[in-house]
Amino acid sequence: PIIIISASGMAEAGRVLHHLKNNIADPRNSVLLVGYQAANTLGRKIQERRPEVPILGELVPLRAQVEMISGYSAHADRNGLLNWIKAVRGERLRDVFVVHGEEEEAESLAEAINQMGGLSVHLPKAGEEFNL
């Protein structure tokens, strides 16, 4: 068994790719994922416990144990974002752009912000431009 502590992220780049490639096939090992894993990233595929995951151009069997540890994100959660918007809205804050997160959650957050009233809430599509 091996313990590797890596930088935060979604296992998309860096030395962690080599560590994972060389160690996730061993059922004696564990992978502890800390924080959010975006769709279609290696971290999400590991989180979903797929039988094989693509690492550095090779399909590697995932036999290691996989666990999630929550509470370490540097991102504000939904309530934190809503509270911040309530605190700063007014004359200077007129537009809010929700540009991060899964589509369903982003839409839900945009609706909650919209319900506050007095703000123009946008869910931009990739490449969409706005004049401010």
**Same domain for 83 and 62:** no
Residues 56 and 98 in one domain: no
Contacts of 39 (CB under 8 A, 6+ apart): 102
pLDDT tens-place string over residues 82-118: 998 988 887 788 899 999 888 898 999 999 999 999 8
User: How many domains, in total, are found in the chain?
Assistant: 2
Query: Does residue 1 belong to any structural domain of this protein?
Result: no
Domain membership of residue 110 as a residue range: 78-122
Complete DSSP assignment for 26-85: -TT-EEEEES---TTSHHHHHHTT-SEEEETTEEEE--SEEEEE-S--SS--HHHHHHHH
pLDDT tens per residue across span 51-85: 999 999 999 999 999 998 876 666 678 888 899 89
Q: How confident is the model at residue 80, as a pLDDT?
A: 86
**DSSP codes joined into one string, 72-120:** --SS--HHHHHHHHHHH-SSS--EEE--SS-HHHHHHHHHHHHHH-S-E
| Inter-helix orientation angle 103-116/78-88, to 10° | 30
Which residues lie below 8 Å from residue 76, measured CB to CB, with a gap of 6+? 84
**Is residue 6 over pLDDT 90?**
no
Q: Judge whether residue 9 has pLDDT over 90.
A: no
Chosen domain end from 43, 69, 95: 69
| 15-37 pLDDT tens trace | 999 999 999 999 999 999 887 88
